[in-house]
């Protein structure tokens, strides 16, 4: 509380309690937007600058807004489970949601796999942060999102994969696959090729047309 805050001169017990509660809440970290500064995908961690400043007061009671120190070694929360992980190529400038654990995570972070006793008794501390990719400020929002279909979309708003509720999928661009199995029909709106052979134009030897080659495939055959 600044030395010039008039509430300091009031003999009001309820106001004193409210001031104490405000001071206590100011030390509890829950969740804040953040901005990626660097990424270590090998360790699945990142450095994050919190996107909201903190405030302090000088001797005259003037507000002094400052950036909160960059959070190092923040675990990245990629969607993961059951032996699979979906990862994103996070980079500097990407926005994330930073959440803070209720207790010290150091023992879990180093050992994992079982229940650990906390090394320290700190609570809701800046040292116990996790970064969840996804939140978008308005200047960085993605346009063209579908209200009905699942999409994987780039920052320019171009849907790279669209799937409707019936399971019909549309890919934008090329697909490279080592093995493809389908119980249904696979349709290519543009050309498709295998081992650099255009499937709609491929021919076989041993035919009776054009010097021993078969003709190109016929629709519906």
Q: Are strands 159-163 and 63-66 parallel, antiparallel or unpaired?
A: unpaired
Q: Are 128 and 118 in contact (CB under 8 A)?
A: no
> In this structure, is residue 38 part of a structural domain?
yes
Structural domain contains residue 76: yes
- Could you tell me if residue 78 is inside a domain? yes
Count structural domains, the chain.
Answer: 1
pLDDT classification of 84: cutoffs 50, 70, 90: very high
- Assigned domain for 133 exists: yes
Residue 154 domain-assigned (yes or no): no
- Please give the model's pTM, rounded to 2 decimal places: 0.74
The CATH number of whichever domain residue 48 belongs to comes to 2.40.50.230
Residue 132's pLDDT band (cuts 50, 70, 90)? very high
Tell me if 96 is assigned to some domain: yes
Whole-angstrom CA distances from 193 to 18, 171, 174, 182, 207 are 71, 15, 10, 16, 21
Question: How many angstroms from the chain centroid is the CA of residue 118?
Answer: 28
| pLDDT, position 57 | 75
In this prediction, what percent of the chain has a pLDDT beyond 70? 78
d(CA 108, CA 114): 8
Q: Is residue 29 part of a domain?
A: yes
Show the tokens assigned to 50.
Answer: 């919190």
Residue in the structure block whose two tokens are 């019936």: 166
Q: Report yes or no on 126 lying in a domain.
A: yes
The whole domain housing 81 covers: 1-141
């Amino acid at each position: 509380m600044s030395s010039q805050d008039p509430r300091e001169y009031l003999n009001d017990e309820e106001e004193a309690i409210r001031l104490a509660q405000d001071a206590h809440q100011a030390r509890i970290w829950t969740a804040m937007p953040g901005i990626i500064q660097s990424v270590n995908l090998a360790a699945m961690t990142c450095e994050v600058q919190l996107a909201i400043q903190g405030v302090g007061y000088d001797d005259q009671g003037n507000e002094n807004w400052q950036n909160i120190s960059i959070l190092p070694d923040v675990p990245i929360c990629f969607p993961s489970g059951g032996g699979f992980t979906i990862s994103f190529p996070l980079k500097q400038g990407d926005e994330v949601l930073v959440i803070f654990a209720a207790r010290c995570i150091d023992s879990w972070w180093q050992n994992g796999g079982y229940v650990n006793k906390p090394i320290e008794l700190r609570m809701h501390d800046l040292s116990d942060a996790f970064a969840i990719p996804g939140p978008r400020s308005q200047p960085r929002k993605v346009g063209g999102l579908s209200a009905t279909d699942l999409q994987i979309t780039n920052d320019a708003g171009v849907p790279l994969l669209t799937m409707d509720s019936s399971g019909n999928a549309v890919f934008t661009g090329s697909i490279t696959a080592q093995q493809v199995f389908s119980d249904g029909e696979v349709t290519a709106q543009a050309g498709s090729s295998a081992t650099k052979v255009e499937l709609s134009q491929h021919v076989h030897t041993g035919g009776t047309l054009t010097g021993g080659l078969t003709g190109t495939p016929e629709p519906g055959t």
